[in-house]
Amino acid sequence: MFQLLATLPSNAEAYRYDSVASGEMRSAIDDLPLPVLEDLSEALLDFNSLADLQAWLDRQ
Protein backbone atom coordinates (compact mmCIF):
# COMPACT_ATOMS: atom_id res chain seq x y z
CA MET A 1 0.00 0.00 0.00
CA PHE A 2 2.83 2.38 0.80
CA GLN A 3 4.32 1.72 -2.62
CA LEU A 4 1.02 2.73 -4.18
CA LEU A 5 0.96 5.96 -2.20
CA ALA A 6 4.53 6.72 -3.22
CA THR A 7 3.53 6.61 -6.89
CA LEU A 8 0.77 9.18 -6.47
CA PRO A 9 1.24 12.93 -6.95
CA SER A 10 2.26 14.70 -3.79
CA ASN A 11 -0.80 16.95 -3.43
CA ALA A 12 -3.40 15.98 -0.85
CA GLU A 13 -6.21 15.71 -3.41
CA ALA A 14 -4.44 12.75 -5.04
CA TYR A 15 -4.98 10.67 -1.93
CA ARG A 16 -8.75 10.88 -2.28
CA TYR A 17 -10.32 7.66 -3.43
CA ASP A 18 -12.39 9.40 -6.11
CA SER A 19 -9.36 11.03 -7.72
CA VAL A 20 -7.30 7.83 -7.95
CA ALA A 21 -9.74 5.08 -8.87
CA SER A 22 -11.46 5.01 -12.26
CA GLY A 23 -15.19 5.63 -12.44
CA GLU A 24 -15.77 1.95 -13.14
CA MET A 25 -13.64 0.95 -10.17
CA ARG A 26 -15.43 3.41 -7.86
CA SER A 27 -18.78 2.08 -9.01
CA ALA A 28 -17.70 -1.51 -8.37
CA ILE A 29 -16.54 -0.60 -4.86
CA ASP A 30 -19.67 1.43 -4.12
CA ASP A 31 -21.83 -1.56 -5.06
CA LEU A 32 -20.09 -4.02 -2.74
CA PRO A 33 -22.12 -5.29 0.22
CA LEU A 34 -20.76 -4.51 3.69
CA PRO A 35 -19.21 -7.95 4.37
CA VAL A 36 -17.28 -7.76 1.08
CA LEU A 37 -16.17 -4.19 1.89
CA GLU A 38 -14.81 -5.51 5.16
CA ASP A 39 -12.85 -8.15 3.21
CA LEU A 40 -11.57 -5.41 0.91
CA SER A 41 -10.40 -3.33 3.87
CA GLU A 42 -8.19 -6.24 4.94
CA ALA A 43 -7.01 -7.03 1.42
CA LEU A 44 -5.94 -3.42 0.81
CA LEU A 45 -3.05 -3.90 3.20
CA ASP A 46 -1.46 -6.30 0.71
CA PHE A 47 -1.99 -4.23 -2.45
CA ASN A 48 0.97 -2.59 -4.17
CA SER A 49 -0.88 -0.93 -7.05
CA LEU A 50 -4.28 -0.11 -8.47
CA ALA A 51 -3.86 -3.23 -10.62
CA ASP A 52 -3.97 -5.30 -7.41
CA LEU A 53 -7.24 -3.61 -6.48
CA GLN A 54 -8.66 -4.21 -9.96
CA ALA A 55 -7.67 -7.89 -9.84
CA TRP A 56 -9.34 -8.25 -6.45
CA LEU A 57 -12.51 -6.60 -7.73
CA ASP A 58 -12.49 -8.86 -10.79
CA ARG A 59 -12.47 -11.91 -8.51
CA GLN A 60 -15.54 -10.74 -6.58
In tens, the pLDDT along 12-23 reads 444 455 556 677
Backbone region of residue 47 per phi and psi (left: phi > 0; alpha: psi in -120 to 50; beta: other values):
beta
Question: Which residues, other chains included, contact 49 with Cβ-Cβ below 8 Å and sequence gap of 6+?
Answer: 3, 4, 7
In tens, the pLDDT along 22-48 reads 778 888 888 999 999 999 999 988 988
Q: Are 5 and 15 in contact (CB under 8 A)?
A: yes
Q: How much is the pTM? A: 0.64
